[in-house]
């Protein structure tokens, strides 16, 4: 018996099932799954440029007969939806399991969404583990389900299941010989002539899945003492079990398709049925569609964010257990770019020039927060370049502020490159800043095509951003050191003054990669309390009660960014 997070348990379950190939794009809360899988014996694992590519690689490997694991966060499922929906027609060769890790509460995401809807829409079976032991078991057995019904299987997790460690009983690996590949265009070539018959295959599969789910071992009923019954799944089950110990609970391990007859039998055994879920009404609507009358809780459950035992109790009008009140006098701790972050001066200069900045997904999104306040939009990966082009189109023939897109190196490979191709093709203008910090920083410093680091440290190719951009036909391409404020200011001024499209590659390693630290800086008596240095938003910089600058030596890494903005030479090395 050992403790594993849900992510680690999913990796273990895939390995025990004989899965040999893992593919993913890193995204919290799913990232650690493939990292854990990559460390196991006898497997191949890679970071792909995006989730769509990952699923397509997975489908190819499955068609060739291998068992495959593809992992992604919930917004990654949006990117992967195109091949995913068609894979529900083609089916599989070797078993294929897809982890969709949702993020209720948006701890590290731009939205909340419920991946159950993808399973329902694509008609792909979906399993919801409620702890790490189930995550391991469900994943291991999902490969047999995948091959039995000739369909990919979704393991739907959430941030709480992904990151909470609970006991598991790890097992041995069961080797699964690859199924021999045989040419079969009627199964794998989804042109209309072949897709129409595969649609009938899919409908027959749905009927068989609906029969199977009624007696499958993944749905459990916990009989209680009270008159109410709760239907729930995943992390919500843990909250319900703690909050309502006397309730009867139908814990769904399979959330698509639902066991309609079993749910109706459960409803007949209690006086009222309630559904408890996070972030959507997927489960409530689906249970009602099974012919089960669902009651409303005395007090509404929150429509957004994560659940907790306290919120579940409150929904049923129950008192909260005794607990210490939450502290109310703690100082705020807003997120900020790290001390020495190479992105900081770029945002400072964009703020100074009052540019309209279309941003992207990454740790540099923090450039939107005060005091930098240098980002106007963030929607999804790759949108910065596309939206900048949209701004240019809408504001054409008007006097307007400079329009600048800001995107990280990994995100540029993920989907920014295709956006730039479209802009160049359509003779777009504007400035694109690629913040190349040599890693995929936000999700834990994973590799990407532009630093050439692979998941299992295999020999690779490091792609050259400026060469790729120049090959697209962009003539104005420059590489600039983002730690040099004067160089950043000059490059931005020249690029935004051009009538054509300009690309600036701001290249400097993430400070967490090399962890190079110089002696901390200090504030001398010549400080005039002007506050210019504090506007950089560095966590190491503050002000005393007189307004003079302060530097926290425990946080300062001696990068010297602040010295470039002090007109009085008050920030010194010793």
Angle in degrees, 0-180, between the axes of helices 192-215 and 132-149, rounded to the nearest 10: 130
Q: What is the 3-state secondary structure (H, E, C) of 533-567?
A: HHHHCCCCEEECCCCCEEECCCCCCCCCCHHHHCC
Three-class SS of 284-306: HHHHHHCCCCCCCCCCCCCCCCC
Is residue 129 one of the residues assigned to a domain? yes
Task: Let me know if residue 321 belongs to a domain.
Answer: no
CATH number of the domain to which 258 belongs: 3.40.50.920
Is 126 assigned to a binding site?
Answer: no
Within a domain: residue 259?
A: yes
Q: What is the CATH number of the domain that holds 61?
A: 3.40.50.970
Question: Which residues, in sequence order, are bridge partners of residue 96?
Answer: 68
Q: Is residue 566 part of an annotated ligand binding site? A: yes
Whether residue 280 is found in the same domain as residue 358 = no
pTM recorded for the entire structure: 0.95
Residues 475 and 388 in one domain: yes
One domain for residues 210 and 225: no
Is 329 within a domain? no
Q: In order along the chain (574 residues), what is the average pLDDT of each group of 10 residues?
A: 97 98 97 98 97 98 98 97 98 98 94 97 98 98 98 98 97 92 96 97 98 98 93 97 96 98 97 96 97 96 93 93 85 90 98 97 94 96 97 95 97 97 96 96 93 94 96 97 98 96 97 91 95 96 95 96 96 89
**Using omega within 30 degrees of 0 as the cis cutoff, is the peptide bond preceding 106 cis?**
no
Taking residue 29's Cβ as centre, other Cβ atoms within 10 Å add up to 25
- 113, 194: one domain: yes
Residue 484 structure tokens: 């040099």
Residues 205 and 165 in one domain: yes
Of the candidates 461, 482, 507, which is a domain's last residue? 507
- Secondary element (H or E) of residue 572: strand 571-572
Is the residue at 324 inside a domain? no
Burial of 172 (0-12, 13-18, 19+ CB in 10 A): exposed
351 shares a domain with 241? no
Whether residues 96 and 149 fall in one domain: yes
Same domain as 485, residue 420: yes
Is residue 291 domain-shared with residue 348, that is, in the same domain?
A: no
Would you state the pLDDT for residue 323?
82
Q: Give the distance, in angstroms, between the CA of residue 509 and the centroid of all CA atoms in the same chain.
A: 23
**Which tokens sit at 161?**
């299941």
Domain count, the chain: 4
**Do residue 497 and residue 441 come from a single domain?**
yes
Q: Which pair of tokens denotes residue 37?
A: 């899988």
Cα separation, 235 vs 131, whole angstroms: 7
266 domain residue, yes or no = yes
Phi, psi of 23 (to 5 degrees): -135, 145
Query: Do 183 and 238 sit in the same domain of this protein?
Result: no
Q: Is residue 515 part of a domain?
A: no
| DSSP assignment of 379-400 | -STTHHHHHHHHHHHHTTTS--
* Confidence at residue 509, expressed as pLDDT on a 0 to 100 scale: 96
538 has binding-site annotation: yes
Same domain for 380 and 469: yes
Domain-embedded: residue 123: yes
Structural domain that includes position 273: 221-316
Of 485, 507, 529, the position where a domain reaches its end is 507
Task: Give the residue from 183, 214, 245 where a domain finishes.
Answer: 214
CATH number (domain holding residue 565): 3.30.70.20
DSSP structure class, residue 318 = P
Ligand-binding annotation for 556, yes or no, is yes
| CA–CA dist 474, 460 (Å, integer) | 26
């Amino acid at each position: 018996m050992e403790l594993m997070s849900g992510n680690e348990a999913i990796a273990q379950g895939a390995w025990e099932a004989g899965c040999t190939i893992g593919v993913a794009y890193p995204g919290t809360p799913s990232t650690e799954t493939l990292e854990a899988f990559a460390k196991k014996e006898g497997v191949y694992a890679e970071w792909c440029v995006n989730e769509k590519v990952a699923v397509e690689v997975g489908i190819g490997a499955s068609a060739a007969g291998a068992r495959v694991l593809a992992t992604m966060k919930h917004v990654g499922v949006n990117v992967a939806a195109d091949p995913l929906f068609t894979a529900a027609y083609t089916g599989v060769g070797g078993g294929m399991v897809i982890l969709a890790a949702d993020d209720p509460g948006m701890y590290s995401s731009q939205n909340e969404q419920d991946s159950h809807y993808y399973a329902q829409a694509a008609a792909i079976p979906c399993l919801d583990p409620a702890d790490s032991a189930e995550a391991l078991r469900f994943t291991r057995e999902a490969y047999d389900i995948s091959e039995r019904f000739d369909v990919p299987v979704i393991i739907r997790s959430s941030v709480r299941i992904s990151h909470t460690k609970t006991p598991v009983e790890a097992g041995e690996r069961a080797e699964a010989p690859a199924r021999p590949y045989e040419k079969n265009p009627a199964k794998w070539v989804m042109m209309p002539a072949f897709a129409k018959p595969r649609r009938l295959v899919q409908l027959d599969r749905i009927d068989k899945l609906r029969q199977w789910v009624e007696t499958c071992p993944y749905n459990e009923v916990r009989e209680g003492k009270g008159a109410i019954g709760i239907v729930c799944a995943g992390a919500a089950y843990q909250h319900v079990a703690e909050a309502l110990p006397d309730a009867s609970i139908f814990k769904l391990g399979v959330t698509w398709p639902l066991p309609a007859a079993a749910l109706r039998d459960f409803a007949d055994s209690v006086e009222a049925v309630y559904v408890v879920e996070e972030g959507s009404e997927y489960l409530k609507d689906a249970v009602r569609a099974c012919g089960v009358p669902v009651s409303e809780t005395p007090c509404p459950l929150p429509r957004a964010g994560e659940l907790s035992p306290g919120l579940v109790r409150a929904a049923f009008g129950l008192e909260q257990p005794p607990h210490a009140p939450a502290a109310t006098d703690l100082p705020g701790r807003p997120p900020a770019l790290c001390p020495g972050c190479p992105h900081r001066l770029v945002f400072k200069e964009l703020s100074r020039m009052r540019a309209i900045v279309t941003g992207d997904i990454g740790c540099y999104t923090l450039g939107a927060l005060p005091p930098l306040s240098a980002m106007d939009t963030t929607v999804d990966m790759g949108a910065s370049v596309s939206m900048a082009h949209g701004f240019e189109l809408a504001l054409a023939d008007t006097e307007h502020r400079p329009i600048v897109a800001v995107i990280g190196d990994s995100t540029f490979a993920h989907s920014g490159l295709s956006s730039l191709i479209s802009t160049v093709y359509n003779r777009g203008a504007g400035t694109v800043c690629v913040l190349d910090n040599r890693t995929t920083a936000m999700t834990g410093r994973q590799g990407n095509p532009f630093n050439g680091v692979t998941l299992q440290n295999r020999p690779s190719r490091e792609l050259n951003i400026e060469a790729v951009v120049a090959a697209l036909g962009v003539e104005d391409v420059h590489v600039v050191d983002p730690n040099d404020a004067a160089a950043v200011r000059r490059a931005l001024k020249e690029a935004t003054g051009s009538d054509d499209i300009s690309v600036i590659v701001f290249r400097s390693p993430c400070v967490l990669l090399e962890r190079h630290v110089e002696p901390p800086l200090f504030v001398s008596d010549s400080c005039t309390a002007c506050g210019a240095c504090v506007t950089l938003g560095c966590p190491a910089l503050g002000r005393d009660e007189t307004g003079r600058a302060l530097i926290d030596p425990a946080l300062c890494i001696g990068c010297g960014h602040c010295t470039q903005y002090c007109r009085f030479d008050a920030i010194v090395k010793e």
